[in-house]
Amino acid sequence: MSKEDKTELDNIKDSEAVELQLSLTEREENIVSDVQKEIMNEELDEFAPVKENDINIATTYVYEDKNEIEAKVYFRNGFTRKVNFEYVPLVMTNSQNEILAKKIFDLREMGDIPPCGARPWKVSFPKSEVDMEKFSSGDCKIIFDAKVKAVNYADIELEAVDPSMEELKPLFEKFLRELPRIEKGNVSFSKFNVALSNDGKIIITLMARNGCNKTVRVEEMPITLKDENNNVAASGIFKLGDFEVSAMKAKMLTLAFDTEVTLDETISLDKWKVVFQTT
């Protein structure tokens, strides 16, 4: 244990310390051997403890390769809820706390870190972006940039779809997976499709996502439809009646605008957008 970790350990009371458990991604859980897991647990034991309601990064090693600097770290979650990250700015510092490099990492693949969990991960910095004159592999560590934000995202599943849309369910599920995730407590509507019906109506299919812990009811919705040139094609307020989305679920919603458009006209609706307000 480093002198810095020893000082931090002395400053943390036993009542504040969180007992962490090794947490691997599903893929790693299936390929990492018991011996490797034992080594990882030994690495965790070497770190200073984590306080309750704290998230930090502990660095196992920093290694200089031919073209990059690689570091093995543990993201440690001292919260009583799971956390995850998307695009996170990380900083490499030396023993003098001088900043040697900064980089934004895509950590979506790391997934959810459970409460009181420690997730091992590897990050690398191009040597061209590292202050190599101040670099020494023995005294460097990786920390969060001050701008970092841990986000508690909602795990959303698709609700049962209308029988008339059953064939489209795989497309709905794929669309749901590819949408940007929403934070818990938020509700979101996203355009799935805009199409023209045989009778000239413009059909809008939306996906509603409820990241709240209770059912949400939406009684009316203002919608403006704009074409690819940002011209207003239609606008109005839809009365949705008893449209409800269960907690942590996604539900499809289909709306129709009456228009004078006919199928004979060569109009592409792919780039049309839905704005949730009226003109």
208-228: burial string, b at 16+ Cβ within 10 Å, e else: bbbbeeeebebeebebbbbbe
pLDDT band of residue 265 (cuts 50, 70, 90) is low
What is the distance between the terminal CA atoms of the chain, rounded to a whole angstrom? Answer: 63
**Per-domain residue ranges for the chain?**
3-144, 157-275
pLDDT at 233: 85
Give the containing element (helix H, strand E) for 44. Answer: helix 34-46
Q: Cα–chain-centroid distance for residue 170?
A: 22
Q: What is the pLDDT of residues 74-97, one digit of tens each?
A: 999 998 888 888 888 999 999 999
Report d(CA 222, CA 251) in Å as an integer. Answer: 18
Indicate whether this model's pTM tops 0.85. Answer: no
Question: 250 φ, ψ to 5°?
Answer: -120, 140
Mean local confidence (pLDDT), 144-168: 83
What's the CATH architecture for 157-275?
A: Sandwich (2.60)
Q: Write the DSSP symbol of residue 59.
A: E
State how beta strands 157-158 and 55-64 pair. unpaired
The rounded mean pLDDT for the chain is 87
Q: Express each pLDDT in 49-70 by its tens digit.
A: 998 888 999 999 999 998 999 9
Q: What mean pLDDT do residues 227-250 have?
A: 90
Q: Kindly list the distances between the CA atom of residue 45 and the CA atoms of 49, 62, 119, 182, in Å, as whole numbers in the listed order.
A: 8, 18, 14, 34
CA angle 34, 38, 43 (to 5 degrees): 145
Q: For residue range 10-48, list pLDDT tens digits in order.
A: 454 554 788 999 999 988 999 999 999 999 999 999 999
Residues across the chain: 279
CA dist., res. 203 & res. 207, Å (int): 13
pLDDT band at 148 (very low <50, low <70, confident <90, very high): low
- Residue 120 CA to residue 60 CA, distance in Å, equals 9
Query: In the predicted model, is pLDDT for residue 7 greater than 50?
Result: no
Contact 263, 198 (CB under 8 A): yes
Q: Which two tokens stand for residue 64?
A: 């200089």
Choice between 133 and 17, residue whose per-residue pLDDT is larger = 133
Answer with the residue of higher pLDDT: 157 or 179: 157
What is the residue whose two structure tokens read 């704290």? 54
DSSP-derived secondary structure letter, 161: P
CA distance 118 to 67: 28
Closest to 69 in 3D by CA, of 112, 100, 105, 104: 100
Percent of the chain with pLDDT over 70: 90
**What is the mean predicted confidence (pLDDT) over 135-161?**
84
Residue bearing the bigger pLDDT, 269 or 248: 248
Q: For the residues of 186-243, what is the DSSP string, one character each? A: -EEEEEEEEEE-TTSPEEEEEEEEE-SSS-EEEEEEEEEEE-TTS-EEEEEEEEEEEE
The first and second tokens of residue 34, run together, are 């018991």
Contacts of 52 (CB under 8 A, 6+ apart): 16, 17, 18, 78
- H or E element: which one contains 6? helix 3-11
Taking Cα atoms as reference points, which of 64, 90, 69 lies closest to residue 142? Answer: 90
